[in-house]
Chain A
């Protein structure tokens, strides 16, 4: 059964991979972010226990992608200096009613994460900020900090593991 699921997901991505990435790019406006999200869509699809029970796998694929893109944009408000009213995402956001305290949990999490981030070494922290706050590429970060691209990647993965461990304690 797992093999069937696997081949289905793989077929889906072989057929829609390019279109999906374009779909995500229109929403997040950054190629690396779109690539990262497309990868996550793929991993999420792999996790579906039985793909054959998904009525319309293509629609499901885009629904997952669309949700991830929304989530991504909500957290990256920072980027958008200009609001484009024709942007499908802006319309999505306008259609959503503001939440009442449902975000409290998230606020706490973000606050805690901010503390966790400060535990990292200065360069490691800077690499995270440049990538996640300013969307700089690995090469740009390497150049700015005067370190190798490999070191940038190493810092970023160390930071992710550290944050994951610290945040897991939160429950």
Chain B
């Protein structure tokens, strides 16, 4: 299991626990609807909920032979109050992997097939969730996925706007004290409604981005996380999910965080941090929002890779020398035909379209 899968798994466990605990106190009609939607969003959610239910049952049994009275339990907890605060999970080194059961794997595979359900959920989210913000302490939790070539835009309950690019999965968890988004794969653009009391935190690979009122783009590709700021400022630093994620992770001093301004970008590969952010044209990075891909003297190999993120038929460069051919222009992500016509217009380039591939070679 990749660290991302693991973090996603923990996030889902946290969501399941919040629902489990709320359910005991009883849900309002609206919360009940939200709970149903959460369950419908993925079979993984169902599995996790039942897993916690069985833990709760076991916990009852732990106490079956205990002699502690209510008063003695309270006295013990009160006595501990004067001691220095203990970390919540003192014996839980965060690097230990969270083992996946075979069942969960199977469920995760099914989850991929659940896009239909997700769409229903999105409709619900867009139209019903707006008033959920001030709900007592029930965190709203969801996740969105886009298929290959698909893009989606969602308005989140706090008014922030989330754009998802092709092949992207995002898990969202809003609580009273923080807004957490986990980019599991792909690329997303965030237009964040600033709430000083409730930080907006994006976890992607080894990096964590904390919004300071802004629009920014995060792309995750294997072990590479690329953060680009379109407007405003963000703080980027090592993901606190990889460190201990205790109660008040949000209140840590942002010592190792770098501040990023508009048209600045930082790329973190396998947890290795560059000395400083680089200057980029953020308008270009986010051209996918307009269903465009923009190239300015880029090698054909890179252009093909970029097109293949959206195209149903991959572009293959069969003549190695062509890989460095410089390409400039603005293309529409879903207009492969337009791109093929453009390539055909170039001198010495031959394009062959087969049932499964688009082959580019020297004439």
- Could you list which residues of chain A lie within 8 angstroms of chain B, going by C-beta atoms? 2, 6, 32, 35-36, 39-40, 43-44, 46-47, 71-72, 74-78, 106, 109-110, 113-114, 117, 119-126, 128-130, 132-134, 136-138, 144-146, 150, 153-154, 156-158, 160-169, 171
Count, A-B residue pairs, CB within 8 A = 175
Those of B17-45 within 8 Å (CB) of chain A: 17-18, 20-26, 39-40, 43
- Could you list which residues of chain B lie within 8 angstroms of chain A, going by C-beta atoms? 10, 13-14, 17-18, 20-26, 39-40, 43, 46-47, 49-53, 55-66, 68, 70, 73-74, 76-81, 83, 85-92, 96, 98-99, 101, 116-117, 136-137, 176, 247
Question: How many angstroms between the C-alpha atoms of A167 and B56 in the bound complex?
Answer: 12
B329 to nearest A CB, angstroms? 43
Known: A120-B88, A120-B89. 8 other contacts (CB 8 A): A75-B60, A110-B58, A117-B62, A130-B73, A133-B63, A134-B63, A156-B21, A160-B56
Question: How many angstroms between the C-alpha atoms of A154 and B59 in the bound complex?
Answer: 17
A43 to nearest B CB, angstroms? 5
Cross-interface CB contact of B56 among A36, A74, A106, A171, cutoff 8 Å: A36
Contacts of A160 in B (CB 8 A): 17, 20-21, 52, 55-56
A61 to nearest B CB, angstroms? 16
Given known A-B contacts A153-B22, A153-B137, A6 and B40 have beta carbons under 8 A apart? yes
Question: How many angstroms between the C-alpha atoms of A137 and B116 in the bound complex?
Answer: 39
Contacts of B70 in A (CB 8 A): 130, 134, 136, 144
Q: In the complex the two chains form, is B247's CB within 8 Å of A158's CB? A: yes
Cross-interface CB contact of B13 among A36, A46, A126, A164, cutoff 8 Å: A164
Given known A-B contacts A110-B61, A126-B77, A129-B68, A119 and B50 have beta carbons under 8 A apart? no
Question: How many angstroms between the C-alpha atoms of A123 and B77 in the bound complex?
Answer: 5
Q: In the complex the two chains form, is A121's CB within 8 Å of B59's CB? A: no
Contacts of B91 in A (CB 8 A): 119
Given known A-B contacts A43-B50, A119-B91, A35 and B24 have beta carbons under 8 A apart? yes
Q: In the complex the two chains form, is B74's CB within 8 Å of A128's CB? A: no
Question: How many angstroms between the C-alpha atoms of A78 and B266 in the bound complex?
Answer: 57
Contacts of A121 in B (CB 8 A): 80, 85-88
Q: In the complex the two chains form, is A132's CB within 8 Å of B63's CB? A: yes
User: Nearest B residue to A136 by beta-carbon distance?
Assistant: B70
26 contacts between A and B (CB under 8 A): A2-B117, A32-B25, A40-B50, A43-B53, A44-B50, A71-B57, A72-B57, A75-B64, A113-B55, A117-B59, A122-B77, A125-B77, A126-B76, A129-B73, A133-B63, A133-B68, A136-B70, A144-B70, A153-B137, A157-B20, A161-B14, A161-B17, A162-B92, A163-B55, A164-B55, A165-B98
User: Nearest B residue to A2 by beta-carbon distance?
Assistant: B117
Q: In the complex the two chains form, is A75's CB within 8 Å of B57's CB? A: yes
Question: How many angstroms between the C-alpha atoms of A39 and B53 in the bound complex?
Answer: 10
Q: In the complex the two chains form, is B64's CB within 8 Å of A76's CB? A: yes
Question: How many angstroms between the C-alpha atoms of A153 and B136 in the bound complex?
Answer: 11
Contacts of B76 in A (CB 8 A): 122, 126
Given known A-B contacts A47-B43, A130-B73, A78 and B117 have beta carbons under 8 A apart? no
Q: In the complex the two chains form, is A162's CB within 8 Å of B50's CB? A: no
Contacts of B117 in A (CB 8 A): 2
User: Nearest B residue to A40 by beta-carbon distance?
Assistant: B53
Question: How many angstroms between the C-alpha atoms of A19 and B63 in the bound complex?
Answer: 30
Q: In the complex the two chains form, is A157's CB within 8 Å of B23's CB? A: no
Question: How many angstroms between the C-alpha atoms of A88 and B164 in the bound complex?
Answer: 54
Q: In the complex the two chains form, is A119's CB within 8 Å of B74's CB? A: no
Cross-interface CB contact of A36 among B24, B86, B92, B176, cutoff 8 Å: B24
A161 to nearest B CB, angstroms? 5
Cross-interface CB contact of B80 among A39, A72, A74, A122, cutoff 8 Å: A122
